[in-house]
Amino acid sequence: MPVDVFVVKGADAAQNAYEAMSRVFDEDASQLSILLKVNSGFKGKPATGLCTHPEAVRGLVRFFKEKHVKKLYVGDSSIVGTDTIEALKSVGIWQVCEEEGVECLNLDDSGIQERDIPDPVMVERLKLSRLAFEVDRVVSVPVMKTHMYAGASLSIKNMKGCLYQRDKTRLHRIFKPLPENARGKCLDYGIMDLAKICYADYALVDGTIAMEGFGPSGGTPVEMDLAVASKSPVAADIVSLRLMGMEPGDAPHIDLVRENKGLDENDIRVFPEDYLKWAKRFVRAGEQDLGLHYPQFSTLDRGACSACHAAVLQFFRYHHADFPDKGHITIACGSDLKEEELRAAAAEGEVVLVGNCTARFRDSYPFCKGCPPVPSQIKRTIEGGKTYDD
């Protein structure tokens, strides 16, 4: 059965979102409560590709208001260690909601909903924000961006923001063997498990200002000036990947969810047909980017989540020049680290473990605790050459 995806390109972000949603939404909104699940994972500047563009949110709010929606919410829950309301304010979404008279909220404030995962691969049960299950419809409204560990962060991965508080980090702390012939990492299968219970009814991928390179927080803005909408989030993500010049294998969780939802890629119809004239080849996220900027350092990232990435980036930003007397340093983070990889890194210089996910190796290397860790404490750990866990 065909699945339709619409791409709308233009200079007005609000108009693009409005038009794209009007192509896919055909219900009586006056009978529905709807959550626009935006991406405001980080604090930062508006319209930089870090978070959903506030004008795209405005376009959707106006669309649903004109449809006389029964109740509309705009919300998210930011990465661990970031205040969600401050993030929503910093990226301009809060202000748009105030101007449009719509409730904007931290999803964690709606309470907890625990759900079992059917046929679990990596996680059996997750805690989520209740509102995502109380509303009649959820629209996933991510910003289009690359992701250093998941390949890309689009409408499926955006739903990770519905995980309650620290449960957001659980998918990064999986210590299970991968299935035979695995096509991804533990995180990819964890996201697939999440999508079995928390999958939006609609997707509106905001490609106004996207992000390439060292996403999800340290990449470079890319002007795309488009919006991608579908009733099928996975189809919207596949089309978004194509617009980013990426293949399904570049973001394995999307392909795993496609398979799990039984979608044949050949069944996706895209309007307009010649939409790839707007595609760009995005620079992929990768740890080598950091190495280029900070030659004294390497990162050994094996499954760390966005919160650790943000802490390590901040550490580099503010402290990369603080160790002139030291040689090469490897910052190791993430739950999938292997002993032999650490040993190989130690042969090249110092190794510093960062984040609670690395605690099992703390007897062998200096360790900076925290979930997420604090950048200044990473510095102290390197200076002391010993475990910092006071």
Where along the sequence are the contacts to ligand SF4 (CB under 6 A)?
80, 169, 172-173, 304-305, 307-308, 333-334, 355-357, 371-372
The residue sitting closest to ligand SF4, measured at its beta carbon, is: 355
E-only strand ranges, the chain: 3-9, 33-38, 71-76, 103-106, 112-116, 125-129, 137-141, 143-147, 151-153, 202-212, 220-230, 268-271, 297-301, 329-333, 350-354, 367-368
Q: Please identify, using beta-carbon distances, which residue of 3 and 378 lies nearer to ligand SF4.
A: 378
By beta-carbon proximity to ligand SF4, the closer residue of 171 and 244 is 171
CA quadruple 278, 207, 16, 38: dihedral, nearest 10:
160
Shortest approach of ligand SF4 to residue 371 CB, angstroms? 3
Nearer to ligand SF4 (CB atom), residue 73 or residue 214: 214
Rounded Cα distance, 65 and 104, in Å? 15
Question: What is the closest distance, in whole angstroms, from the C-beta atom of residue 166 to ligand SF4 in the complex?
Answer: 8
Asked if 64 and 29 count as a contact pair (C-beta separation under 8 A), the reply is: yes
Six-digit token pair at 243? 């617009």
Q: How far is the CB of 246 from ligand SF4 (least distance, A)?
A: 24
Closer to ligand SF4 by CB, 138 or 305: give it.
305
CB of 337 to ligand SF4, least distance (A): 10
| Least distance to ligand SF4, CB of residue 355, Å | 3
Q: In whole angstroms, how close is the CB of 34 to ligand SF4 at the nearest point?
A: 31
Residue bearing tokens 């294998």: 249
Residue type at 32 in one-letter notation = L
Q: Which is nearer to ligand SF4, 144 or 187 (CB)?
A: 187
> Min. distance of Cβ 301 from ligand SF4 in angstroms?
9
- Residue (104 or 333) nearer to ligand SF4, CB: 333
State which residue, 147 or 172, has the beta carbon closest to ligand SF4: 172
Q: Is 169 exposed, middle or buried (0-12, 13-18, 19+ CB in 10 A)?
A: buried
| Least CB distance to ligand SF4 at residue 321 (A) | 24
Contact 100, 55 (CB under 8 A): no
Of 102 and 128, CB closest to ligand SF4: 128
Pull the structure tokens for residue 334.
């993430």
Q: Which amino acid is at 135?
A: V
Query: Cα–Cα distances in Å, from 276 out to 8, 129, 222, 226, 295?
Result: 12, 36, 16, 12, 37
Closest CA to 120 of 234, 199, 173, 197: 197
Nearest residue to 65 via CA among 93, 100, 39: 100
Residues in the chain: 390
Omega before residue 372 within 30° of 0, cis: yes
